[in-house]
């Protein structure tokens, strides 16, 4: 298992009681006829983990809970792979999610993911 997959699993476990996240596999394949079929949310550039984080809102909304779109792009810890950098399309996706009011960031550990959720709520 590669280091990034291990970090993804640690993030999913750490946030399992708080956020609902799914592995977003992005890619594509070519059919026999030569047609390219892409899969994954926001391909290319979609984050590795996508889902929502619940947030209980103000009294004026009668205690309703809303789901905040959450996207985490998981990278290998720097001490293992220092050159594992962000692609421009990944940075764009993170920016779009944040600008729309969602939670989005690059994370290299379960602790970073947990801190990101706390800071962005």
pLDDT digits (tens, 9 = 90+) for 45-93: 999 999 999 988 778 877 788 899 999 999 988 766 766 677 899 999 9
| Domain interval for residue 8 | 3-120
CATH of the domain at 84: 3.40.1350
Give the separation between CA 118 and CA 121, rounded to whole angstroms. Answer: 6
Work out the burial of residue 76: count CB atoms within 10 Å of its CB; fewer than 13 is exposed, 13-18 middle, 19 or more buried.
middle
pLDDT at residue number 84: 67
| Cβ count near 69 (within 10 Å) | 14
For the chain, the average pLDDT equals: 91
Full-model pTM? 0.79
Number of domains making up the chain = 1
**H or E element that contains 65:** strand 65-74
Looking up tokens 């290998």, which residue turns up?
Answer: 76
């Amino acid at each position: 298992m590669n280091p990034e997959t291990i970090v993804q699993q640690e993030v999913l476990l750490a946030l399992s009681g708080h956020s609902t996240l799914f592995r977003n596999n992005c890619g594509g394949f070519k059919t026999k006829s030569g047609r390219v079929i892409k899969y994954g949310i926001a391909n290319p550039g979609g984050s590795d983990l996508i889902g929502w984080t619940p947030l209980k809102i103000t009294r004026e909304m009668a205690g309703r809970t809303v789901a905040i779109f959450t996207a985490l792009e998981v990278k290998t810890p720097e001490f293992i792979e220092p050159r594992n950098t962000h692609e421009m399309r990944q940075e764009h996706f993170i920016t779009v999610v944040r600008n729309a009011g969602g939670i989005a960031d690059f994370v290299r550990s379960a602790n970073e993911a947990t801190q990101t959720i706390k800071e962005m709520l």
